[in-house]
Amino acid sequence: MPSRKITIKEIEAKHALGISGMKELDYAFNPYLGCFHGCLYCYAIDLSNKEISSNWGNTVYVRMNVLDLLKKEIHTYKRGIVGVSSITDPYHAIEGKYKITGNAVDFLASNGFYVTVQTKSPLALRDMGIFIKHRKNVDIGYTITTLNSEISKKIEPYAPLPETRLRAIKKFSSNGINSWIFMGPIIKNINDNLDNIEKIIKFASDNNIRVIYDFFKDYSGPRKYMDNTGYLVSDSSWSAYIERNIKKIADMYGVKCVSEYDEWKYEFGLRQKTLF
Ligand code: SF4
């Protein structure tokens, strides 16, 4: 892991929940701005201020009052699906100290919201009791871009290694928590090897885990960081080829595997059935 100097800034937030830019979610809850995992492909680079985006992975703001705000504002929000989180990893290392995420998941699920958590960190295991308590109202996804540690270190320099993530999600799934793997972003010439994709899907099949996949989008923020990795910009014939193979492999292993767009339709159905 490359050495680095990190900056943590404690700030006051104005609101607890944001309206999510992702169609499958109603709200986003972000305890932090910036992310110490520092993935080079992260779209949040483009959504962050200059201090955070120009030093991506090394500067994080902690939204200190966000739990108090959540408690104060909860009655103003119509019940819906909350993504935790959309522009940070809710369980990157400093969550060990600040403990915002677990409390927020507990509070939101106790108040009739459906909470969907996405992380790369085994620190989420600390809150297993909360996930078990709200089993019907929460799910958890681990991002697995590759099972190759060297590739992971190159594009996700400070994130927990893939094997650690697999061990963590396996524990969630074996505790009966609705678990999914986000297999992505799939990046041309980096992690689009079909053997790698098959191994991830096989793991999902062995552990009763759903898979959601998506492709890298060449936004200007990540592009600056990805430049030296040898990645190629996605094109439609490449993504159609990869997608055909993902579906074939998922069928072979009997895994429920959908694109991020199809996931929206799934969450929409869930919302219709359980929330209103
Ligand atoms: S863990 Fe997620 S939020 Fe954090 S840098 Fe990586 S992709 Fe971005």
Return the CATH number at 54.
3.80.30
| Ligand 1 contact, 44 CB (< 6 A) | yes
* 30: helix, strand or coil: coil
* Residue range 153-201, pLDDT digits in tens: 999 999 999 999 999 999 999 999 999 999 999 999 999 999 999 999 9
Residue 197 belongs to a domain: no
| Percentage of residues of the chain with pLDDT beyond 90 | 89
Residue 269 belongs to a domain: yes
Mean per-residue pLDDT of the chain: 93
In the chain, the amino acid numbered 183 is M
Residue 255 belongs to a domain: no
Residue 254 belongs to a domain: no
Average pLDDT over residues 228-242: 97
According to the model, what pLDDT value does residue 146 have? 98
Where do we find the tokens 């490449």?
Answer: 238
pLDDT at 273 over 60: no
Residue 45 belongs to a domain: yes
Residue 222 belongs to a domain: no
CB 204 within 8 A of CB 211: yes
pLDDT at 275 over 60: no
According to the model, what pLDDT value does residue 265 have? 61
| Ligand 1 contact, 192 CB (< 6 A) | no
Distance from Cα 78 to the centre of ligand 1, integer Å? 28
Name the token pair of 195: 């053997």
Residue 57 belongs to a domain: yes
**For residues 270 and 265, what is the distance between their CA atoms, to the nearest angstrom?**
9
> CA angle, 149 as apex, 242 and 147 as ends, to 5°?
40
Residue 234 belongs to a domain: no
Distance from Cα 252 to the centre of ligand 1, integer Å? 30
Find the domain containing 82 and state its range: 7-183+264-274
Number of structural domains the chain divides into: 1
Predicted confidence band of residue 276 (pLDDT cuts 50, 70, 90):
very low
| Ligand 1 contact, 35 CB (< 6 A) | yes
* Residue range 77-132, pLDDT digits in tens: 999 999 999 999 999 999 999 999 999 999 999 999 999 999 999 999 999 999 99
**For residues 7 and 267, what is the distance between their CA atoms, to the nearest angstrom?**
36
According to the model, what pLDDT value does residue 19 have? 75
Distance from Cα 117 to the centre of ligand 1, integer Å? 13
Counting from 1 in the atom list of ligand 1, the atom nearest the Cα of 119 is: 1
| Percentage of residues of the chain with pLDDT beyond 70 | 93
Residue identifier of the C-alpha nearest atom 7 of ligand 1: 42
Question: Which of 4, 39, 56 has most ligand 1 atoms within 8 Å of its beta carbon, as the pocket-test mutant?
Answer: 39
Question: Which of 32, 35, 146 has most ligand 1 atoms within 8 Å of its beta carbon, as the pocket-test mutant?
Answer: 35
- Whether cis (ω within 30° of 0) applies to the bond prior to 185 is yes
